[in-house]
Structure 1
């Protein structure tokens, strides 16, 4: 964030932070993210929240949609592209509540969703986050 900033970071700023986090990932992960779409929206839509059983949209800061790499098949066709969704308003709320830097928070959520893309365990996601630190 810049000194004297008086407005909440917009979707473009959140996306820039996420892309910076991707750039810090080890190459063996980055090379498989070229086809993953990154979307930043204020909140998840009602349908997504309902599917996940979430009543409060502030409770969801990120989501991976798609099939993990290890489950993909060359026989599949017509599927939507894999996506990482970051939800700006939920991220900003968590940023204010936790006192963690926005850069660190966005990186944490992004890496968690990248982990789902690769089918990683929570321990593996933590190791990946340390490597991208």
Structure 2
């Protein structure tokens, strides 16, 4: 059995917002074409934390409680057509809560970003958890 050499952690910095954006873009590109077609026009944004309004709305106890969030009108909802003055559908990924979760669990960061991305989009498009796990598996 060969082992992969460990990275030199003394020289590595925490992933930046741009690093998480890149992981999200790569994850999105690996999703099945039919799933990506459902996402036409969805904007993916990365922030360090959710804003105070979002934390209150989602009834979060701390700013680390929310890894991601979909904002918009999903295909499963009536009136999915974009109306004048309406913001585009957006998926928010929150870097610091993602990194905190990653540090506490035995999971690769790229897998975690893919998981959160698929689930935020999938729930609003009316997909079941089984459907989303299948999409996630196809993206790996």
TM-score w.r.t. the length of structure 1 is 0.90
Greater shift in the superposed pair: 92-101 or 113-122: 113-122
Q: How many pairs were matched up?
A: 132
Q: Of residues 115, 119, 122 in structure 2, which corresponds to 1:115?
A: 122
Determine which structure has more spread, i.e. the larger CA radius of gyration.
2
Q: Which runs of 5+ in 2 are unaligned?
A: 1-5
C-alpha change, 1:30 and 1:75, in structure 2 (3 Å) is closer
Q: Deviations over 1:49-88 (max 9, x none)?
A: 1001102111111000111113253483321110000000
Structure richer in helix, relative to its length: 1
Q: Deviations over 1:3-27 (max 9, x none)?
A: 4442100011001101111111111
Q: Of residues 72, 86, 95 in structure 1, which corresponds to 2:93?
A: 86
Q: Which runs of 5+ in 1 are unaligned?
A: none
Q: CA deviation at 1:42?
A: 0.3
SS of the aligned residue for 1:69 comes to coil
Distance 1:15 1:132 in 2: 17
Give the structure 2 partner of residue 23 of structure 1.
29
Q: CA deviation at 1:33?
A: 2.4
Q: CA deviation at 1:132?
A: 1.4
